Structure 1
């Protein structure tokens, strides 16, 4: 059986429920529905437990080899990388002399 880690494939916020679903072979969508319903029904401890698991659970797929750049990831995307700039496209000039 594999280790309990956050999921990179089934991550919505932090990948906690996706990792739990992969570990126990349960559909992560079902787990998300259960957590949302439990939160609204009044079991208010689901949010702190989720945040605690997000801090404690290791990230999945941490196979770093020597020479690799250190991983800097966020659940909302990479934050150390600069966005790639799009090159300007040349626009054909139109003749507006009729106006």
Structure 2
């Protein structure tokens, strides 16, 4: 029987965060640099006259925090057969 790899989960990491880990969690989920997510978020906030900034506390509240015993991200590839 083949073992399926764990599915991606949108979570706020405990180690790689600036404020609450929202941008870092989004970056890990979409496999992009969290700095790029932060820049896009800042530009969107300016272009929408601050309306996009309301999304941050909502995501902070809705995204669960990563458990302390979670594997390092990205998870190492499965080994052997």
TM over 0.5: yes
Note the residue ranges of structure 2 that are not aligned, 5 or more in a row: 1-6, 70-81
Note the residue ranges of structure 1 that are not aligned, 5 or more in a row: 64-99
Alignment of 1:3-14 (within 5 A): 3-14=9-20
Match of 2:60 among 54, 57, 66: 54
Across the two proteins, how many residue pairs are aligned to each other? 63
Classify the secondary structure of the residue corresponding to 2:43.
helix
Contact kept, 8 Å, 2:14 with 2:68, in 1: the verdict is no
Classify the secondary structure of the residue corresponding to 2:54.
helix
TM-score by length of 1: 0.57
Question: Structure 2: how far apart are the matches of 1:39 and 1:30?
Answer: 14
Match of 1:15 among 21, 35, 40: 21
Aligned-residue CA RMSD (Å):
1.5
Task: Work out whether 1:27 is the aligned partner of 2:30.
Answer: no
TM-score by length of 2: 0.68
What is the deviation of 1:62? 4.3
Q: Deviations over 1:9-43 (max 9, x none)?
A: 32110001100110110111001001111111235
Q: Would you tell me which structure has more helix in proportion to its own residues?
A: 2
Q: Which has the higher contact order (CA 8 A, sep 6+)?
A: 2
Structure showing greater Rg: 1
